[in-house]
Structure formats: structure tokens, C-alpha cells
Chains A and B, each alone.
Chain A
Amino acid sequence: MLIPILTMSIMGLLFGLGLAYAAKIFRVEIDPKIDMVTHALPGANCGACGMPGCASLAEAIVNGKSEVTSCAPGGQEVYDKIAQILGAGIKVKKKKIARVRCNGGKASSDKYEYVGLKKCAGANLLAGGNKECRFGCLGFGDCVAVCPFGAIHLNENNIPVVDGSKCTACGKCVKACPKKIIILEYAEHEVYVKCLSHDKALAVKSICPVGCIGCKICEKLSGGAFMVENNLSKIDYTKAKPDTPWQTVIEKCPVKCIVKE
């Protein structure tokens, strides 16, 4: 009886000591802040931030790769704690939200009748989807299904609508959209062009009533903030001025593809 007990104890002891010694030799210096931030986070490892777990998010926050406000479930209390750990001088980055850059939906015409799986990814495999417009939303709601916060729903026109108060800019819908029409943008930039079509005016007109036709009216009215490039209107917010006549531009757009959130 003594021999097995002794052998196992000695083996256990040796391994334990060996590991302790190895831990000393192979010790890696880690910023103590990472540990503190890890404890400040909720610790649910939910993955909503896009990281595998809270520990990796803590590392990213301390290294400045992620924002202090990346943890959506944590809320303000957690942000305050993290900001306290990291000390003053932390800039809270501007909030981003997902924007759906297409307004075609049911109004835009179909190329063929699609009867396959009710998924955008599936439809996209068949000649780029059943919509005549090769840039437009397919409307099967892959983004709705993938959103962990329930911030997206399809409206009556079959276009996804993002709820800005729920959206945390985690980017899952951006990845899920096969047409790449969901884009993360700054929430404070309220005016945006709800179309991504580079087709020429005639082509757009024949397939979609709300597609940008590149008429340049916005360019003329806005005094530099809008730029029509490759048949598509774009907003350059660095050139926007306090007196940029957003409301006029929105009203004058002949196809109403410039919208304000």
C-alpha cells in the first residue's frame, strides 16, 4: 500500500514543482492594467464585442485597439470603472452605428423569381441575387438573424432598419451582408446617401425608383460636402460646414435617396 501512495505523491510533487519552476522561467510580463480591466468587465465571455472573451477585450482596450465602450452588456457602470483604471486622457471615441445603404426593397424590380433558401447568402450565389440592381439589398434579412442585440428589423418595404439605440457597431451584420450594403458610420453624421449603385442614370431609373442617378444636384446645392463620383453621390464630412444646407439637399434630391436618420 505504501509504494503506490509514495509513487503518486512523489510524481505529483515533482510535476507541481516542475510547473512552478517553469512558470518562473517562462513568466511573461503582463501589464497589470489588463488584469484589472478584465475584472471590471462583466466576465460573461459573451463575445458581443467581437472578441473571444472578456480577457482578450481587456487586452485590446489597454492596448488602445478597442474602445472603452466596446462592452455593450456592461453599460455605463463598466465604462466608468475602466476609464478610472486607465486614468485620465482616455478619449472616448465617437459612437458608430450600422447604416443600411439601400432603399430599393420591394420597389426595385426583380431579375428572376427566386424560390431557394430564404437567405441573402443563398440568393447571392445565384447570379448575385434576384434583384435587377447588382448593388441592392436582397431583403431576406441575414443581418436581422445575425444581430445579437435585436437592433435590426425589416420594414414593410423589405429593407432592414437599424435601431440606433440598440446598435453597438459590433459589425456582425456588416460581415453577414453579401452585398456589403451595411456600413459602420459615425452616428453623429446623420445625413447619408441611401444608395450604393454605380450604375448610370438610365440603368438605375429603369430598375429602381429610389436609386441615386448621379444628377449632381446635391453637389451644386451643398457647396462641397457632396461629391458625385462614378455615378454615385457621396458625402465628405470633412468638407461639411455648419451652414451646409442639409435640409434643402434632402428635399431637392429628385429620387429621395439622401436621408436623415
Chain B
Amino acid sequence: MDLAMFLSVIIGAIFINNFILSKFLGLCSFIGISKETKPALYMGVSVTFVITCASIITWAIYNFILVPCHIEYLRTISFILVIASFVQFVEMVIKKFSQALYRTLGIYLPLITVNCAVLGAAVLNSEMFFKPGISTLTSFTLSVLQGFCVGLGYILVMLFMSGIRERLELCDVPKSFKDAPISFIIASLMSMAFMGFSGFRF
């Protein structure tokens, strides 16, 4: 567990393996909630929060339940179970303690349940760090760090996209390309730009 490893996880999660533009996960919310910057940022922050917490919980589930019982192949379904329950729980807590925040997040919060980026992060963590060779503490720290950085990468791209789409509102887009189609084209261009990062392999 040294600095170089941390750095490679951080840069890897944010840029090289950016969930939206390189792995094409979480595209639903990416297209759906990127029309304006403010909701996009809120969505990004809540996704980051959920991914980070889900990384902690899935790490515990995997290492303390699935591995001892030798049922690692049930990883996906158990992770979905955990994430869905966790988002529900977070929703309840927020609703109880901060009505204002609950109203701001609104529909985005339950939407995270079905956001494949959350599951993707958990699965990626388990593939990369939940191995016999890596010590428990290292795998835990790196998983949480990677979860957090995946969220940061998500926020970054959401902000790019919403910024572009806000300017796009003022552009003379052909009628057949308005809204979603032009967004997909822009997303593909951005994705090509992000492919450049894949040259940085550590």
C-alpha cells in the first residue's frame, strides 16, 4: 500500500476507466439529468455518496458472507440486494432529517437504485481488490477510494455534459437532432477524447 498505488487508483477511476465515457455505465442518468448544471451536480454528489457507501457495504458482504460460504458466484444478485436496500435506507434517513435536501434530490435519489454505475463500481472493486493476495486493510482502503473516485469521475463528466448542453440550448440544432440525439453525438465525441487517457496505463 504505497502512494503510487493510491495515485494509480485515483487517476484510473476518474480518467482512464471513467465510468460514463470509457465503461459506458450510468448512461441513463447521464443523458436524463444533464440538461442543467445544478441538478447534474446534485445527482453527481448523491451518486458519489451512494457509491462510496456501497463500496464499504459490498466489501463487507463479499468478504464476510460470500467468501466463507463459497458462493462468490452470487456476487451480482447480492450486491444488487445490498445497494437497493441501502438507497432505500438513505432515502428514509434524508427524508427524516432534512426535508429540504430530500426535496432537492427528489426523484434522483430513488433513481440511483437502478444506476448501473453503482453496481459496476462494486463489481469492479471485487474483481480488482477482493483477492487472496491482497491484505484485508489494503483491499478495504482501495475499494473505498476507488468507489469515491468513480463518483468524482461521474461528477466531472456530468458537469462537462450539462455545461455543453446548456450552451447547446442556444444553438440551431436541426429539429431531428434536438435533445437526446445530439446529446448522444456529443457523448460519443467526449468518449473519444477520453480514450486518449487509456494511453496512461500504470
Name the B residues within 8 Å of A28 (CB-CB): 95-96, 99
Stretch of A118-126, A128-136, A151-159, A214-222 on the interface side: A118-126
Find the B residue at minimum CB distance from A7: B69
- B93 at the binding interface (Cβ < 8 Å): yes
- Please report which residues of chain A, range 123-149, place their CB below 8 angstroms from some CB of chain B when the two chains form the complex: 125
Name the B residues within 8 Å of A118 (CB-CB): 172
**How far apart are the CA atoms of A26 and B88 in the complex, in Å?**
12
Name the B residues within 8 Å of A16 (CB-CB): 85
Contact for A15 among B65, B82, B171, CB less than 8 A? B82
Contact for A12 among B70, B81, B93, B96, CB less than 8 A? B81
Name the A residues within 8 Å of B85 (CB-CB): 15-16, 18-19
Contact A122 B92 (CB under 8 A): no
- A92 at the binding interface (Cβ < 8 Å): no
Residues of chain B at interface, number, CB under 8 A: 26
Residues of chain A at interface, number, CB under 8 A: 24
- A53 at the binding interface (Cβ < 8 Å): yes
Stretch of B71-79, B121-129, B138-146 on the interface side: B71-79
A53-B170 contact in complex given A3-B71, A15-B81, C-beta closer than 8 Å: no
Contact A26 B170 (CB under 8 A): no
Contact for B172 among A3, A8, A117, CB less than 8 A? A117
- CB pairs A–B below 8 angstroms (6 shown): A4-B74, A8-B77, A16-B85, A23-B92, A117-B171, A121-B170
Interface residues of A (CB under 8 A from B): 3-4, 7-8, 11-12, 15-16, 18-19, 22-23, 26-28, 52-53, 56, 117-119, 121-122, 125
